[in-house]
Amino acid sequence: MADTPVEKMTFEDAIRELEVVVGKLERGDVALEESISLYERGAALKKRCEAKLSEAEAKVAKITVGPDGEAAGTAPLDP
């Protein structure tokens, strides 16, 4: 998974790998150079997760109902 380009990862894959990266950094049992690489990968994974969440939020909408009770369209979930 660490070889997969971050920009091609699904949210689920990115969050799983981010958890692994954070775990390794928290344990502190990696060399300094590897820690730096892990931190950089983790920052990219975090950014990917945030972008995917933003995309999902933009797609979430509620159905608006017109005066006749029929669906009239959609509106943002949090106007």
Distance of CA 56 to the CA centre of its chain: 9
Domain boundaries, the chain: 6-76
pTM for the complete prediction? 0.74
Q: What is the pLDDT of residue 12?
A: 97
- Determine the average pLDDT of the residues in 16-36: 95
Query: Of the candidates 12, 14, 15, 39, which has an alpha carbon nearest to the alpha carbon of residue 25?
Result: 39
Q: What is the pLDDT of residue 79?
A: 52
Sign of CA dihedral 56, 57, 59, 65: positive
Q: What is the pLDDT of residue 77?
A: 65
- Of residues 31 and 78, the one with the higher pLDDT is 31
- Determine the average pLDDT of the residues in 14-21: 97
Residue 67 banded pLDDT, cuts 50, 70, 90? confident
Terminal Cα distance for the chain, rounded: 38
